[in-house]
């Protein structure tokens, strides 16, 4: 009892932490980037976006903008400080994916990301290649939500949509109605989050594209695949289209693994040097 009373006294007499001492931005999930070796990292991120945000923060006088800039600076500091010579960076807040080569952006695509209740996680991994005409391995959550009932109660309609059950696994056959569209990246990761095509391409015209179960859907998916395969000259757009036309599933390995970073930045430099600000769709700022 004496120890318990002493503990209560210590707890309630401890000084309150000042608001400015609390980091309200980065959660544990946001700041942990598996695979990063802090001992091998440079002191600060080498990315030009980090330097641009630092300059903007030093010049900004609006308190709200300064808070947003500070939040995004901390996000960059939580990432691996060297991203590689060639990599894909997805900014979920901007609904955009960018291919970087030798320190510069070379191609961009619109993306659809997770809804607020099924948020796209922050992580990094490597893509090993492109899968054309993919099967969809349906997650258990989606089986429970809709597909399982469709297969049980309306089997003819389920077959028409390409749903099959094989060895207890719910799958969808390749084809234009497949939920993954005509391609996906071969990108294993602990989150089971993919980057893939979609048959609902009209959704890319929306301004707010937080619409998925967590995966990243990419616009102009076959153009995206061809761009990522550009270092393998035999894989032209014509050859990609020919494989799609046959309808068989084919995995095309990259000549080297492509680092993929899924990030969340509500402030980002534009090509003209100004800072673009994006809605905080996940409420992380």
> Known catalytic residues?
196, 215
In angstroms, the CA 72 to CA 69 distance is 5
| Cα gap 248→115, rounded to integer Å | 32
């Amino acid at each position: 009892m004496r120890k318990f009373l002493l503990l209560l006294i210590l707890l309630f007499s401890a000084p309150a932490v000042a608001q400015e001492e609390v980091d309200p931005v980065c959660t544990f999930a946001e700041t942990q980037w598996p695979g990063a070796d802090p001992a091998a990292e440079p002191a600060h991120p080498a990315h030009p976006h980090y330097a641009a945000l630092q300059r903007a923060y030093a010049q900004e006088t609006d308190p709200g903008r300064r808070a947003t800039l500070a939040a995004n600076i901390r996000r960059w500091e939580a990432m691996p400080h060297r991203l590689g010579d060639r990599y894909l960076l997805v900014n979920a807040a901007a609904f955009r994916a960018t291919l970087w080569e030798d320190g510069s952006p070379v191609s961009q695509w619109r993306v659809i990301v997770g809804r607020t209740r099924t948020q796209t996680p922050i992580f990094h991994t490597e893509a090993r290649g492109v899968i054309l005409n993919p099967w969809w391995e349906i997650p258990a959550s989606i089986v429970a939500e809709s597909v399982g009932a469709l297969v049980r109660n309306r089997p003819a309609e389920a077959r028409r949509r390409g749903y099959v059950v094989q060895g207890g696994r719910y799958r969808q056959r390749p084809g234009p109605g497949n939920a993954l569209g005509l391609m996906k990246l071969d990108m294993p990761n602990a989150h089971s989050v993919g980057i893939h095509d979609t048959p609902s391409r009209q959704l890319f015209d929306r301004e707010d594209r937080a619409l998925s179960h967590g995966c990243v859907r990419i616009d102009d998916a076959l153009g995206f695949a061809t761009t990522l395969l550009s270092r393998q000259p035999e894989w032209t757009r014509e050859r990609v289209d020919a494989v799609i036309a046959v309808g068989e599933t084919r995995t095309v390995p990259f000549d080297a693994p492509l680092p993929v970073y899924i990030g969340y930045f509500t402030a980002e430099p534009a090509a003209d040097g100004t800072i673009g600000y994006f809605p905080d769709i996940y409420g992380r700022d």
